[in-house]
Amino acid sequence: MESAEIARRFLTFFEARGHTVMPSASLIAEDPTLLLVNAGMAPFKPYFLGQRTPPSPRMTSAQKCVRTPDIDEVGKTTRHATFFQMLGNFSIGDYFKEQAIPFAWELLTGDRAGGGFGFPEEKLWVTVFEDDDEARDIWHTKVGVPLERIQRRGLADNYWHMGVPGPGGPCSEIYYDRGPEHGREGGPVADEDRYLEVWNLVFMQKQLGTVRSKVDFDIVGDLPNRNIDTGMGLERMAAILQGVDNIYETDTLWRVLERAAALTATSYGRDHRDDVSLRVVADHVRSGTMMVADGIRPGNEGRGYVLRRILRRSVRNLRLLGGQDAGLMHELTSVAIAAMGEQYPDLVRTADSIHAVIDAEEASFLATLRTGTTIFDTAVAAAKEQGAARLAGDQAFKLHDTYGFPIDLTLEMAAEQGLRVDEEGFRQLMAEQRERAKQDARDKKTGNLDVSVLDELLSRSGGAVEFLGYHTTEADARLVGLLAGGAAVPAAGEGTEVEAVLDRTPFYAEGGGQLADQGVIDLGNGAQIQVTDVQSPLAGLIVHRGRVTRGEAQAGDAALARIDVRRRQAISRSHTATHMVHAGFRRALGESAAQAGSENSPGRFRFDFTASGAVPLSVLRDVEDEVNDVLINDLDVRAFHTSIDEARAMGALALFGEKYGDQVRVVEVGDYSRELCGGTHVGSSGQLGLVKVLGESSIGAGVRRVEALVGIDAFRFLARENVLVAQLAEQLKVRKEELPERVSGIVARLRDAERELEKVRSQQVLAVAGSLAENAADLGGIAFVGHRAPDGTDAGDLRRLATDVRGRLAARPAVVMVAGVPKDRPVVVIAVNDAARERGLKAGALVGIAARTLGGGGGGKDDLAQGGGADAAAIGDALAAVERAVGAV
């Protein structure tokens, strides 16, 4: 039974029993306490907590999840994986244990022809929480499971929570007995390799406060309703139903693994080390594909860091398998898209965009590997010269953090050199960095507010703040909550920085690339709050941040909220222009030019999109011309709500990685542009006035950024450019249209002159080569040349001089050292001929001695190496140090 069929049967079974089928939420979690969705119930948490009204009291879903705490174990075992799918059925205050347990048994043991999974009853075991007599009795008396196949377990095994404040409760797990060939008898408490967990039924009834560990947490009260949350791991079910030994041999993962083996000319099952790498590649390629599809981009923090690590581990393990060529990730990504496409059709639709991101990250990391290897070699040489048996933790961390060098690669290469790595020091530095990143992410999302405070504000506002900003720029409201310093306060006096929550507001909260509105909130008692920022830290909650500028703001006051209309209009022009430029680029470059971010500011916007390389200037000009032609036609801009399916049917563009509900808002500019969008826009395209594209640039692997001006800002820019062109034309005594040719000619002549100067300078440097060779010192039969070149001699000339002198000394062992100060920092080059290398002299080791004397570092090959430092005054000491080292051989 294929994975897609397992998911279909699960959802169909519960749909027939009154459950609403919910689509998988994005891996990007709405919950500010989560980096990524890591459990099937995570998108349902607001319903369990009573913060939002569920679309139905009974729901079911197949949810995408990513967990990475055990990422280092992926591949080493056949149980660990980063991406997985969780099938679940959920009850919000509807049924509880007495129905959830029989539902699970019926689906698991039901005949396959009738839509069940066909498990033999005698193969199934059950665990319950240690004091949950109710669940035990239902399993035994209502379902008929023998008491000897029902086992009790404690908090560590049979109490569920998310690891953060939120819902929790006892659970009951169902296990499948794979037989004596997989382990010893005695049920799950004896052997969880033989008895494989297939389903976890959580009886969610408690609200948890502080969570210190799996077994150490505070229960602060009962949930508003008793709920059911179940989780069935799709990959684990597939392993059982497909009759394979582990999740890596199931249909979707196996297709990627098998192709990786073929591309690297390896075979699964022959060599443990190769098997580990193949499993890493299979899991990580699938995980990376799913994360990119949900709009996550490789980066150095948060979700982007998780994705970057996953993709780079894939590339690294492909190289361990012998796959040295670029493009392997492209082919494996195609396999992952095909394998998962039946369940997630959007993967196929956005394949070009997914490829653009992953291909660029692969190319970037391959370049990183080349750079990192050079830095690693230098660190190893220094360690050996000092007689150290290991690389320091801070060196390994610098390789990882600065150069993107994976720690497992550092460990392996160090072992090849006979060195160990201070892993403990490395892990400590990594832990400190992760904690900083997590705290930064938490602070950024919540504005340093406690999540429980945000929950309380959302509850006070009636479940969701009503946004009125599409139709009005001011509105009467009520100040339902006031915070100062992150804590709820009843009042705040003049000068106090506050966060204010209204029950309804015209203020647009920053989102979808659009900057937040600014303005004022006038309160009934004469007080006023100047609003400088608006955020939505939780779905449905709008927080106005600013300062009390007059009087005393009091929670509960009547309010009049007024936005800065001119600012809103300017931002709306930018937002509409972004839609139009997006449409223009897709027409020019194809669907692979998918939006990857934007910022709509007053009079200016930036638009990020996926692309494999730089966009030609001619394309930028064509897009700009096309957009401005559309502006002249003054097309109507219309916004309306419809279903997601209807929006896609009419060709509305759903932005890559965005999350959408069943009902969506569509914004269209005539027939030119049609996108799903929650932002504010102008009434017609003519209100934009003019769009001026300033240029484009790279902002990361596979992502380009276009910046542009709109309206009066665009006109002012063109006016300034016209004055500048007129001044240049006057200075060069040519007509404006002749400027490019005249400037090109001046630049060409300047470059010719620079080349001539460089040639003369190089000849002057090399002219001393003969004299240096003739006057070489004899150090125990080794010819040694130590020379300081004139300041300003570039590094290339230093290398040419060193190799030229070495060539003149080919008849005997020779070491040539040339030092200079090309700019403001000293550089040293050492060249060693074959005869000297036979005497044990190596350029890389010698240059290390010189570079350390100069206060820096360096490295290279045995015959030629280069280093540098910070102390130019120490060049004489460096020459002497190298001379002593050569003389000591």
Instruction: Mark the binding-site residues for Zn(2+), compressed into ranges.
Output: 575, 579, 677, 681
Q: Are 378 and 409 in contact (CB under 8 A)?
A: no
Give backbone dihedrals phi and psi of 484, rounded to 5 degrees, phi first.
-140, 130
Greatest C-alpha distance within the chain = 103
Bridge partners, residue 718, by sequence: none
Angle in degrees, CA 279, 284, 289, rounded to 5: 135
DSSP 392: -
SS3 for 50?
A: coil
Place of tokens 């306490």: 33
- What type of residue sits at position 716? R
At a CB cut-off of 8 Å and minimum separation 6, what does 692 contact? 624, 708, 709, 710, 714, 717, 718
Give the whole-angstrom CA distance, residue 29 versus residue 41.
11
Query: Reduced to 3 states, what is the DSSP secondary structure of residue 233?
Result: strand
Asked if residues 371 and 364 have their Cβ atoms less than 8 Å apart, the reply is no
CA 575 to chain centre: 25
Alpha helices in 294-422, H assignment, sequence order: 302-320, 328-340, 346-349, 351-385, 393-403, 407-416
- Smallest CA-to-CA distance from 629 within 584, 574, 595, 681 is with 584
3-state class of 527 per DSSP? coil
Buried b (16+ CB within 10 A) or exposed e, 432-460: ebeeeeeeeebeebbbebebebbbebbeb
> Dihedral (C-alpha) 775, 779, 782, 788: value to the nearest 10 degrees?
-50
In whole angstroms, give the CA distance from residue 248 to residue 11. Answer: 24
How many other CB atoms are found less than 10 A from the CB of residue 314? 30
Query: What would the two tokens of residue 589 be?
Result: 């470059």
CA distance linking residue 34 with residue 163, whole number of Å: 10
Binding-site positions: 575, 579, 677, 681
Cα–Cα distance measured from residue 800 to residue 820, given in angstroms and rounded to the nearest whole number: 13
Distance CA 514, CA 679 (A): 7
Q: What does the DSSP 8-state code read for residue 680?
A: -
Token pair, residue 394, equals: 């801070």
DSSP H helix total and E strand total for the chain? 26, 35
Cβ proximity of 377 and 405 under 8 Å: no
